[in-house]
Amino acid sequence: MNADGPVVNVHVLFFAKSRELANTPRSTVDVPTEITATELLDHLVSKFGLTSIRDNLILAHNESYIDNLSDRILFKEGDELAVIPPLSGG
């Protein structure tokens, strides 16, 4: 992750299997104010040990799903990220 520019602290919420793997329901992480969704995903996977579910994760920024991993995301201090694995059940 390239953090040459400004960096902000954001809140990260983990759900289901991501919560289990990260060993916490929530955390904070420093991220650049502008980053691609792929770079962000790779950073979170590495930092929180989510490699086994990386290809199945959904990210949400301030309660809006990130649909395209090539999208550039603009962060402000205190923004919220959700890490959501696919849910199963019946």
Domain ranges of the chain: 7-81
Q: What fold does the segment set 7-81 form as a domain?
A: Ubiquitin-like (UB roll) (3.10.20)
For residue 88, name the pLDDT band (cuts at 50, 70, 90): low
Residues 32-84 pLDDT 10s:
999 999 999 999 999 999 999 999 999 999 999 999 999 999 999 999 999 99
| Structure tokens, 16 | 């289901």
Number of neighbouring beta carbons within 10 Å of residue 85 = 20
Q: Enter the pTM of the model.
A: 0.90
CB 15 within 8 A of CB 53: no
pLDDT score, position 34: 97
pLDDT score, position 13: 98
Residue 2 scores a pLDDT above 70:
no
